[in-house]
Every structure is written in C-alpha cells, then in structure tokens.
C-alpha cells in the first residue's frame, strides 16, 4: 500500500499521541463528518492554507471572530505595536477602558462591562451575577443553546417540565444542575408554565437570540417578547448570550435586531465574545450599573482573571470594532452574506435537493430540510449523512464549512464576489451528485 502524502494525516497521528482526540476543542476532530482534520498553516483574507498548502475559502472564520478576514492590516499593526509594549501586566491599562467604552457605545443596554478571556467564562459569570443580584438559584436555558462548558450549563432537558435537567457530560454531578430548567426553544406554552411553576425562584433566563449552535435558528419575535415580559413580571434577569451574534449579525448585536420589532426591548445582562476580541482570547459580560455593582470589588459576587483585559487582545478587539463601525460596513457584509445564501438556495433548488437557509448580517446557517426548523427537535431531523456528503464535496473543492451539522457559518468583509461565485459553483456540483435519482 502506497504511504499517504497527506501531511494533515501525519499531524493528526502525531497530535493523537499527546492531545486527547488530537484536538483542543472537540468539533475540530471531524468526528461528526469523518475524514482527516485540516491543520491550518496560515491564513489571509478570506482563505487559509492547510499543511499541504491547499487553499480553502474559509466560512468559519475562527467560529465568528474574523469579521474583517484574516490578517487585516489595521489589526496587524495594532497587535504588533501592543506586543512590543508588553504581553501582559496583571494591572489596569488605558486600552481596556477604551475597549469597554467602545463596547458600551455599540450595545446601550449595558452601562458597565467586565472583560474576561472566553465566552465560557463570561457566560458562567453572568449566571453567577444573576443569582447574586436576585438572591435566587434557578436558571432557565433552552435545549440546543450552548453557553460554554461551565458545569451548570452542560445540561439537557429533564423528563417533564416540572423536572430539572440532567448532566450531558461525565464529571458533572446531578446536584450541580438541579437548579437548571431546560425548555424547548420557541415553545411559548413551556415558557409560560415554567414561570407559573417556578417564577419566584428563577434568577435568570439565558438564551441565544439566534441559536448558532443549532446551526442557525432564530427566536421568534413573539417568543422573545414573552421572555422579556415574564422575566420583568417575576423579577428574573434576561441574559442574552451574544458571544456568537454580538457585533456579528448587526453593529448593535442581535438585541438591536429584535428592538426593531419590540419597542424598547433590551436584555438585563449581555454576554459577548468572538468579534469583540477580533480573534484574540477576549470576551465580556455587561448590564446596567445597578446589576454590575454586585461584582467584586464593589459587591459580593466574585470574579477574577489573571489575563482579563489582556493588552494585546484589547488592541486587537478595539481596532476590529472601530473598523466595523465605519459607514456602510454592515450593509456591505449583509449583501455578501445574502448573495451567498441566495446562491446556495438556488443551486439546491435547481437539483431538487431539500434545502433551507437563513442569514443575518455576517452569519448564516442551512439545513437539508424543506423548511427552517424552530427548535432542537426539528433540527435533529436534518439528514446527517447527506450533510457529510455536502461537507466533503465542498471541502474537496476548496470550500471550508464547519465540520458539523449543527454549527453556523460566517462571512467576512474579505470575501469577494468571486469567492461567493466559486462557492456557489462548487455547491451546485455537489448538489447535482446528491440529487434524487
């Protein structure tokens, strides 16, 4: 048998000997789709090159942060300058104040913000803050929404509405998730009943406004409105997890999209990440001053982080936000994403392949289903074998989508009309192979 010349295979074999599964985040292992992960050697603009120097059009963009594309000149300049000044100080810097001010100017539901290093850390602390501010214990989350790998949030639905969730990971004791109630996304009846049963005990409701870990599923306007009303009525805090959607679906994030349909709408606590760090490890959570003042050193809710507000990461995030604020940026990005979405839909329809797709700003998601799903159960009806065929067909043609059925995709400002045309042409070829015979 002729030995493989694929350097990705050799790297994966080497990685498996020293890293569990060969990867440092599970989805990268290609376990859901099969085959060998691509080990990225370098990236520029809308592309990356793997260990074999094969070029791919990149539609994951580090799972969302690379809204400007890879290696944007202004970002590189800022990061290089910051690195020469020092990697980390463990002390305050002016730049972290500037970044906080920039974030607050874009998302006015927050009056104060705390910078951290990861979305998991931000989500975990937002839950703690909600409990500390309300003096209550119970949390509502929704099946299919992912808020990081904190123990209390690694939970699936219980056997009935009145029961609380069960751990979805080994190492999480049942008592850790006993205060987490898991409901079906977009299910108004369950939402109403949960508050009727537990309203006085609920500290907060945490939700992805557009669930990017179900690929791309929107909360309906009616459901969003009722989440807000019930939290207000029962004294619970509405927590918007905008790690993925923050400054990605709109300059003002997903909450600004919903505010167009619900006058005065805003969440109580917002969790952000990805775009605000521009690709560096940086995230944040924020709220009104009265809520944030429960945090140490002002209040009794403790949170700390040695690398929080890291000077290189804040430089990266600050320039990224200033770039996406420029006139016309989001209009152009939205048009590019819409062009991709419309092209993929037309290609699938032409070959008779069941296909539904949606987008907002620079984020999109699709399903091999005739209609867009509205909750996790419906998402699970998507044909994983056919998705794998589509994924590998596109990969073989130099187009890199998320290597999992349930992950959203991302378009950057660096994607060109030619990139989108190439992607649609590649998809048309694969859909032709998938077409009913």
Q: For position 267, which CATH number holds?
A: 3.40.640.10
Query: Among 306, 324, 342, which residue terminates a domain?
Result: 324
Q: How far apart (Å, rounded) are the C-alpha atoms in residues 121 and 308?
A: 10
Q: What is the mean pLDDT of residues 377-391?
A: 92
Q: What single-letter DSSP state applies at residue 67?
A: T
Q: Which of 47, 56, 146, 185 is catalytic?
A: 146
Q: Are residues 346 and 412 in the same domain?
A: yes
Query: Among 304, 324, 344, which residue terminates a domain?
Result: 324
Q: Are residues 66 and 192 in the same domain?
A: no
Q: Which residues of 338-368 are buried (b: 16+ CB within 10 A; e: fewer)?
A: ebbbebbbebbeebebbbbbbbbbbbbbbbb
The owner of tokens 């109630």 is: 181
Q: Are residues 410 and 381 in the same domain?
A: yes
Is 274 part of the annotated catalytic residue set? yes
Q: What is the pLDDT of residue 153?
A: 84
Q: Are residues 338 and 309 in the same domain?
A: no
pLDDT above 60: residue 328:
yes
Cβ contact 257:90 at 8 Å: no
Q: Are residues 279 and 310 in the same domain?
A: yes
Q: Are residues 124 and 57 in the same domain?
A: no
Please indicate, yes or no, if residue 2 is contained in any of the structural domains: no
Q: What counts of helices (H) and strands (E) characterise the chain?
A: 13, 18
Please indicate, yes or no, if residue 131 is contained in any of the structural domains: yes
pLDDT above 70: residue 157:
no
Q: What is the pLDDT of residue 164?
A: 55
Q: What is the pLDDT of residue 159?
A: 43
Q: Which domain holds residue 320?
A: 73-324
Q: What is the pLDDT of residue 162?
A: 44
Is 258 part of the annotated catalytic residue set? no
Taken in order 127, 131, 134, 136, the sign of the CA dihedral is positive
Give how many domains the chain has, as a whole number.
2
Q: Are residues 320 and 405 in the same domain?
A: no
Q: Are residues 146 and 269 in the same domain?
A: yes
Mean pLDDT of the chain: 95
Please indicate, yes or no, if residue 389 is contained in any of the structural domains: yes
- Residue 118 pLDDT level (bands cut at 50, 70, 90): very high
Query: Among 324, 358, 374, which residue terminates a domain?
Result: 324
Q: How far apart (Å, rounded) are the C-alpha atoms in residues 61 and 46?
A: 8
Phi, psi dihedrals of residue 334, rounded to the nearest 5°: -65, -40
Q: Are residues 292 and 333 in the same domain?
A: no
Please indicate, yes or no, if residue 19 is contained in any of the structural domains: yes
Q: Are residues 67 and 77 in the same domain?
A: no
Provide the CATH number for the domain around residue 423. Answer: 3.90.1150.10
- Residue 4 pLDDT level (bands cut at 50, 70, 90): confident
pLDDT above 50: residue 163:
no
- Residue 173 pLDDT level (bands cut at 50, 70, 90): confident
Q: What is the pLDDT of residue 156?
A: 75
Q: Which of 268, 274, 336, 376 is catalytic?
A: 274
Please indicate, yes or no, if residue 271 is contained in any of the structural domains: yes
Please indicate, yes or no, if residue 186 is contained in any of the structural domains: yes
Q: Which of 50, 241, 268, 419 is catalytic?
A: 241
Is 429 part of the annotated catalytic residue set? no
* Count of other CB atoms within 10 angstroms of residue 131: 20
Q: Are residues 56 and 188 in the same domain?
A: no
Q: What is the pLDDT of residue 436?
A: 83
pLDDT in tens, 39-60: 999 999 999 999 999 999 999 9
pLDDT above 70: residue 165:
no
Q: Are residues 252 and 106 in the same domain?
A: yes
Please indicate, yes or no, if residue 1 is contained in any of the structural domains: no
Please indicate, yes or no, if residue 33 is contained in any of the structural domains: yes
């Amino acid at each position: 048998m002729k030995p493989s010349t694929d350097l990705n295979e050799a790297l994966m074999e080497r990685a498996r000997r020293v890293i569990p599964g060969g990867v440092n985040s599970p989805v990268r292992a290609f376990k859901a789709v099969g085959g060998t992960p691509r080990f990225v050697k370098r990236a520029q603009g809308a592309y990356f090159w793997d260990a074999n120097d094969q070029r791919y059009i990149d539609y994951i963009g580090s799972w969302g942060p690379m809204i400007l594309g890879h290696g944007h000149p202004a970002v590189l300049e800022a990061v290089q300058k910051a690195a020469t000044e020092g990697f980390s100080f463990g002390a305050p810097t002016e730049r972290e104040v500037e970044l906080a001010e920039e974030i607050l100017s874009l998302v006015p539901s927050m009056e104060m913000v705390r910078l951290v290093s990861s979305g998991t850390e931000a989500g975990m602390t937002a839950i703690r803050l909600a409990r500390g501010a309300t003096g209550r214990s119970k949390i509502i989350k929704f099946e299919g929404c992912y808020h990081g790998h904190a123990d209390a949030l690694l939970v699936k639905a219980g056997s009935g509405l009145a029961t609380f969730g069960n751990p979805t990971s080994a190492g999480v004791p049942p008592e850790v998730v006993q205060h987490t109630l898991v409901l079906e996304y977009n299910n108004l009846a369950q939402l109403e009943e949960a508050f009727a049963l537990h309203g006085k005990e609920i500290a907060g409701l945490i939700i992805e406004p557009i669930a990017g870990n179900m690929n791309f599923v929107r909360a309906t306007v009616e459901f969003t409105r009722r989440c807000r009303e019930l939290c207000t009525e029962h004294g619970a805090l509405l927590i918007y997890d905008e790690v993925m959607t923050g400054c990605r679906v709109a300059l003002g994030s997903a909450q600004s999209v919903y505010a167009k349909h619900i006058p005065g709408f805003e969440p109580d606590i917002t969790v952000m990440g990805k775009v605000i760090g521009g690709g560096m490890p940086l995230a944040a959570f924020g709220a009104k001053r009265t809520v944030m003042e429960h945090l140490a050193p002002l209040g009794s809710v403790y949170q700390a982080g040695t690398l929080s507000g890291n000077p290189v990461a804040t430089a990266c995030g600050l320039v990224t936000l200033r770039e996406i604020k420029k006139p016309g940026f989001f209009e152009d990005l939205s048009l590019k994403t819409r062009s991709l979405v419309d092209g993929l839909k037309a290609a699938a329809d032409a070959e008779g392949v069941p296909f539904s797709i949606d987008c907002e700003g620079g984020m999109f998601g699709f399903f091999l289903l005739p209609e867009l799903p509205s909750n996790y159960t419906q998402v699970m009806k998507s044909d994983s074998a056919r998705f794998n065929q589509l994924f590998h067909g596109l990969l073989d043609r130099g187009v890199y989508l998320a290597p999992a059925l349930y992950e959203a995709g991302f378009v950057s400002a660096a994607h060109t009309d030619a990139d989108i045309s190439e992607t649609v042409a590649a998809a048309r070829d694969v859909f032709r192979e998938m077409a009913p015979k």
